[in-house]
Amino acid sequence: MLTSHLSFKYLVAFSAGVLFALGFAPMSFAYLTVLALSLLFYLWHHATPLRAFGCGYMFGLGAFGFGVSWVYISIHEFGGVDRYSASAITALFVAFWALFPAMLGLMSVRLRVHRNVLVLAGLWVAVDYFRGVLLLNGFPWLLGAYSQLATPLAGYIPVVGAYGTSYLLVITAALLTLAVTQAHWRWRAAGIVLVLWGAGSLLTNINWTSPRGEPFQVSLIQGNIAQDQKWLAKSKLNTMLRYRQLTEAHWDSAVIIWPETAIPAFYNEVEEIFIEPLQSAAKEHGVDIIIGLPLANLEKKEIYNAVFALGEQQAIYRKDHLLPFGEYMPWQPVSGFILKQLRIGLGDFTPGGKQQALLTAAGYPFITSICYEDAFGDASRDFLAEAAFLVNVSNDAWFGNSFEPHQHLQIAAMRALESGRYMARATNTGVTAFIDSKGRIIKQAPLFTTTVLTEKITPMQGLTPYAHLGDQWIICAILLITLLTWLVLTLKNRAPHVII
């Protein structure tokens, strides 16, 4: 009977993890995220440390297994790995990230803080920050705040960013659990949630930034080049011709943006035959063209994932925040040996450096991010005062018709809202989109179509509170609140009972 009861709890925990993932794009059932966390915290309320670990692990398997299993597509379909090995790698990937909510459950019950709202929320965010920024160059997928872009909690995003908003989300879920488990806290918990979400709703009406000039027209080119064809020698010429022809049909735009590595060749290979004529055409028509292609420094044996600005002012941005196991190999030489045995050929790129001058288009400097660089809010914060808008170029074709392109767009919307800047996002196969300074998607292209998306965007000025603070100060404040609360409760020897 005991084993059956425990199995049921683990099943509930796994189901809660799936519900948590359903809160994110493309399903975007935002309030399920709150319910899922509340269920998990309820399971922890009367659990031993070991059982809390088990429930947390099952929650993680459900959340990551359902939410980020798209890695299988990139490994099997485009990485050339057989389905059994790809399934095993994906399972290990999910099993690894599931350890984080498991360790949180163990730690919170062992320290007897699983019923304390502020301490539990602080520990949750600390764990999220560790996996999202510090470990393996960061894997910030399925951060709770990303699911809340259309709820009243979105009002806090330009104030405290993704991690601060996740903190408030966990506080909400913990308070709801408290309302169910402790009758004397029911109305107080409900009142706090009402005030918290009401304040967030009011904050959504504040404009933290203002227009810097008149709107100008931007065209985003979605070439829709199949990933398994993109780098074939026979496809290169057709790819370049497609982008050139789509560009020539939109000389009436002030800015034209191509996706990440839109040109499947190194810069030095196509400089004379393609880049220079394109540069001349851009100047002739008074248009700035932003293109993505790799750059090789043959003398130093360095390869960069780069973006070039062509037109009135030519400049280069080199990707700095590289993708582990995709653009560089951590844990060498072990990881390199394993991948070689599996015959997975991955890139060996060089980071471009943090202090790079901003590119300019339509007369305004802008912040450039390549692929999942836009998943790190703090990465370009130092340049926001100078930047008028954001540009993200990406190639999510690696993940096929999965959740990933939609989740990535959701992450991009978070960056726009945090910074109070419009974002123009050009991708190879989708989701190409325009996002306004409130994080709202104002226009997007359908997946897997060759198309050009055109819209006017407004250059912005000013800084949101988050842009002033950044993640590190917000995390420090959360940790300080967590530590002080824990110390007070410990000194009073009332840790299992005192809630806030």
Q: Helix (H, G, I), strand (E, B), or coil: what is residue 156?
A: helix
Is 443 marked active-site?
no
Percent of the chain at pLDDT above 90? 76
The two tokens of residue 123 are 């520990």
Q: What is the model's pLDDT at position 167?
A: 98
Contact between 176 and 165 under an 8 Å Cβ cutoff? The reply is no
Residue 329 confidence (pLDDT): 57
Kindly state the DSSP code that residue 384 receives in the 8-state scheme: T
Average pLDDT over residues 71-78: 88
The predicted structure's pLDDT at residue 230? 85
Cα–Cα distance list, 108 to 116, 175, 189 (Å): 9, 16, 20
Q: Is the pLDDT of residue 498 over 90?
A: no
The tens digit of pLDDT for each residue in 304-317 reads: 999 999 998 899 99
| Cβ atoms 71, 121 nearer than 8 A | no
Contacts (Cβ under 8 Å, ≥6 apart) of 349? 303, 304, 305, 319, 322, 327, 328
Query: Per-residue confidence at 490, pLDDT binned at 50, 70, 90?
Result: confident
Instruction: Provide the pLDDT for residue 335.
Output: 43
Contact indicator for 68, 141 with CB cutoff of 8 Å: yes
Average pLDDT value for residue range 328-353: 58
- 441-444 vs 451-457, strand pairing mode: unpaired
Two tokens at 131? 């996996």
Domains of the chain: 2-207+468-491 (no CATH), 210-463 (3.60.110.10)
pLDDT tens track for 158-195: 999 999 999 999 999 999 999 998 888 889 999 999 99
Distances (CA, A) of 247 to 218, 221, 258, 348: 11, 8, 9, 31
Task: Please give the distance of CA 326 from its chain centroid, rounded to a whole number.
Answer: 16
> 68: cis peptide before it, omega within 30°?
no
Confidence tier at 344 by pLDDT (50, 70, 90): very low
pLDDT of 342 > 50? The answer is no
Residue 474's alpha-carbon distances to 164, 224, 286, 294, in angstroms, are: 7, 39, 43, 35
Nearest Cα neighbor of 9 from 37, 35, 42, 34 is: 42
pTM: 0.93
Name the band, by pLDDT with cuts 50, 70 and 90, for residue 4.
Answer: low
Task: Tell me if residue 476 is catalytic.
Answer: no
Task: Choose, from 55, 230, 319, 327, the residue flagged as catalytic.
Answer: 319
Pair type for strands 288-297 and 255-257: parallel
- Structure tokens that stand for 406 in this block: 């939609």
233-to-230, 276, 293, 346 alpha-carbon distances in Å: 9, 21, 15, 18
What does the alpha-carbon distance between residue 404 and residue 245 come to, in Å, rounded to a whole number?
A: 29
Catalytic one among 55, 230, 327, 371? 371
| Of residues 378 and 278, more confidently modeled | 278
Q: Which of 55, 230, 260, 327 is catalytic?
A: 260
- Distances from the Cα of 20 to the Cα of 40, 61, 276, angstroms: 10, 11, 49
* Inter-residue contact 398 to 387 (CB < 8 Å): no
Give residues with Cβ within 8 angstroms of 91, minimum separation 6: none
In tens, the pLDDT along 263-275 reads 999 999 999 999 9
Residue 234 has pLDDT above 90, yes or no: no
Catalytic residue status for 260? yes
What average pLDDT does this structure show over 56-66? 98
Which of 413, 442, 426 lies closest to 215 in space, CA to CA?
A: 442
- The DSSP element (H or E) to which 127 belongs, if any, is helix 117-129
Helix (H) or strand (E) holding 267: helix 267-270
pLDDT at 338 over 60: no
Hey, what's the torsion of the CAs at 222, 227, 229, 231, to 10 degrees? 90
CA-to-CA distance for 442 and 488, rounded, in angstroms? 48
Give the tens place of pLDDT for each residue, 437-460. 999 999 999 999 999 999 999 999
CA 293, CA 301: separation in Å to the nearest integer?
A: 17
> pLDDT (tens digit, 9 = 90+) per residue, 18-41?
999 999 999 999 999 999 999 999
Position 492 pLDDT exceeds 90: no
* Cα(409)–Cα(403) distance, integer angstroms: 10
Instruction: Return the closest-CA partner of residue 449 out of 171, 186, 246, 198.
Output: 246
308 DSSP β-pair partners: 291, 316
Q: Kindly tell me if the per-residue pLDDT of 328 is higher than 80.
A: no
> Helix (H, G, I), strand (E, B), or coil: what is residue 176?
helix
Please give the pLDDT value at position 43: 96
- Average pLDDT (209-231) is 94
Model confidence pLDDT, tens digit, residues 90-112: 999 999 999 999 999 999 999 88
**Whether the bond into 215 is cis, omega within 30 of 0:** no
Between the alpha carbon of residue 375 and those of residues 135, 312, 380, 412, the distances in Å are 14, 30, 11, 7
- How far apart are alpha carbons 140 and 260 in whole angstroms? 20
Facing residues of 216 across strands?
A: 457
DSSP string, 67-115: HSTTHHHIIIIIT---HHHHHHHHHHHHHHHTHHHHHHHHHHHHTT-TT
Position 493 scores a pLDDT of: 61
